[in-house]
Amino acid sequence: MVLGQLGGSITRALQQMSNATIIDEKVVSECLNEISRALLQADVQFKMVRDMQANIKRIVNPDDLAAGHNKRRIMQKAVFDELCRILDPGKPSYTPKKGKTSIIMFVGLQGSGKTTTCTKYAHYHQKKGWKPALVCADTFRAGAFDQLKQNATKAKIPFYGSYMESDPVKIAAEGVERFKQENCDLIIVDTSGRHKQEAALFEEMRQVSEATKPDLVIFVMDSSIGQAAFDQAQAFKQSVSVGAVIVTKMDGHAKGGGALSAVAATKSPVIFIGTGEHMHEFEVFDVKPFVSRLLGMGDWSGFMDKIHEVVPTDQQPELLQKLSEGSFTMRLMYEQFQNMLKMGPIGQVFSMLPGFSSELMPKGHEKESQAKIKRYMTMMDSMTNDELDSTNPKLMNESRMLRIARGSGRSVREVVDMMEEFKRLAKIWSKMKGLKIPKKGDMSALSRNMNAQQMSKALPPQVLKQVGGMGGLQNLMKQMGNKDLGGMFGGER
Ligand SMILES: Nc1nc2c(ncn2[C@@H]2O[C@H](COP(=O)(O)OP(=O)(O)OP(=O)(O)O)[C@@H](O)[C@H]2O)c(=O)[nH]1
């Protein structure tokens, strides 16, 4: 996801600013210009960038920054708050209730990923015990019904559609009625698209909406549409009452900044993002952890969740223990690579760590990354046990590297690359040193009600320092809500 680069650019701009000897208005302006450039490159709408720049300038007072405060943190917080403000329209979207019928209508242009997203949305809820159903009211694209039927059958979700009927309004109304009678609690209506915004499409949306009376209209947007996002979202909002946004294809080379524009145009929150073509490649969207990750501030709660989700249960205690020790060895890297190859998404675990973009296994480049990881593992197969268990990369002198390259049939350059990767991962790993791992029975004690004082004692000193000491922690807890930080310790959510 190119959005990751935005985080990198902003972090660099902040770093440059805090390196300056005197922080005056000029330095702050330069930093803001740099951040604005990065946002524009990520396809955030020009007007929004300009407003954001003006807002930050108002909030951040260079005199404050000069007076020995942590300048980088003040600016980072201002950027964080502004991005959150844009992404959070201030009111939550309609939330369907399990057991009570809700009608959800999906709208979007052709190819935005609407049909795929309808099924993902149904599947997501079905896994949580809902009784979803899909209605195909797309009579415009030949093959749309077949696609929905195929997806629905695969996911074992009831569906309704017709090969004969050409009136989408009629199909939508019939389908909704049928599933109401069958007591489905989530009736999802997939609608037609067009290649571009057309009056006929908007009229059709208006009529389908009138006939089905949806509780929520979700606007589906392809994240790669760039600057067009604002106008497109606004055009849909003007014909039907869009209440939420789902941004698809966040896995590709999309710049993703359009998501911010879509929220601004519809005044509705992003509720999910699509991260691939498969059914499970669908994530709940949370503003604060998202922005936090974007700015390289790390997403601690997401990190621990991912460990629970991705790492096999029997390996979790050992992995957490090793994290708490902070010592990273070649053997540990080898084991993580094994998991990564077996399970695919473990790279996501690392991407949650501050400063670590999923460079090792970027989305969309899985094949190349897997081949690279396999090459690394072949090289590690040529290492001695001492080398594998050592935390000291200096053991690997030139002659050992030559020997490993020869033994594994790879070049010395590749061995050097692997060692660089090891050092990079070890550095990230070391940040978790001292992490307190609760014993089974202690979980509740570390739960969401923990106050900043208790939390500061539980946190490893490095982590506490990283969040800006006690003050920073209090702010972070305020920003994220205790439950998110509680989640970091495996507390019940
Ligand atoms: N990589 C990736 N591909 C996606 C994602 N969501 C959908 N797609 C792909 O995008 C293409 C278009 O998706 P559809 O679901 O057919 O699009 P649609 O908006 O329903 O199109 P119409 O029915 O013509 O309006 C398909 O090839 C999907 O597999 C995603 O999150 N990531």
Q: Helices marked H in 60-136 — which ranges?
A: 62-66, 71-87, 114-127
Residue 14 phi, psi (nearest 5): -65, -40
- Cα four-point dihedral sign 484, 490, 491, 493: positive
Q: How many A from CA of 255 to the centre of ligand 1? A: 17
For residue range 410-465, what is the model confidence (pLDDT) as tens digits?
A: 999 899 988 988 887 787 677 666 554 444 333 333 333 345 555 555 555 555 66
Ligand 1 site, residue 276, Cβ cutoff 6 A: yes
Provide the pLDDT confidence category of residue 349 given band limits of 50, 70 and 90: low
Could you tell me which of 36, 47, 27 has the C-alpha nearest to residue 6? 36
Cα–Cα separations (whole angstroms), residue 465 to 283, 377, 475: 30, 35, 13
ipTM of the complex: 0.96
Ligand 1 site, residue 114, Cβ cutoff 6 A: yes
107, 110, 116, 191: residue to mutate for ligand 1 pocket, most atoms within 8 A of CB:
116
**Number of other CB atoms surrounding residue 145 within 10 Å:** 22
Structure tokens at 433: 């040193």
- Alpha carbon 473 to chain centroid distance? 23
For residue range 99-152, what is the model confidence (pLDDT) as tens digits?
A: 999 999 999 998 899 999 999 999 999 988 999 999 999 988 878 899 999 999
Residue 21 phi, psi (nearest 5): -70, -45
Ligand 1 site, residue 296, Cβ cutoff 6 A: no
pLDDT of amino acid 360:
58
Q: How far apart are alpha carbons 326 and 318 in whole angstroms?
A: 12
Ligand 1 site, residue 447, Cβ cutoff 6 A: no
Q: How many A from CA of 83 to the centre of ligand 1? A: 27
3-state SS assignment for residue 374:
helix
Ligand 1 site, residue 18, Cβ cutoff 6 A: no
- Cα four-point dihedral sign 190, 196, 197, 203: negative
Ligand 1 site, residue 112, Cβ cutoff 6 A: yes
Q: How many A from CA of 110 to the centre of ligand 1? A: 9
For the chain, the C-alpha Rg in angstroms (whole number) is 25
Q: How far apart are alpha carbons 447 and 444 in whole angstroms?
A: 5
Quick check: pTM over 0.95? no
The DSSP letter of residue 142 is T
Question: For the chain, what's the residue count?
Answer: 493
Closest ligand 1 atom to the C-alpha of 248? 31
Judge contact between 480 and 293, C-beta under 8 A. no
For residue range 30-71, what is the model confidence (pLDDT) as tens digits?
A: 989 998 888 888 778 888 889 889 988 888 877 766 666 667
Ligand 1 site, residue 120, Cβ cutoff 6 A: no
Ligand 1 site, residue 7, Cβ cutoff 6 A: no
Ligand 1 site, residue 256, Cβ cutoff 6 A: no
What strand order describes the sheet that includes 186-191?
A: 159-160, 132-137, 186-191, 102-107, 216-222, 242-248, 270-274, 282-284
Q: How many A from CA of 379 to the centre of ligand 1? A: 39
Judge contact between 271 and 284, C-beta under 8 A. yes
Q: How many A from CA of 10 to the centre of ligand 1? A: 31
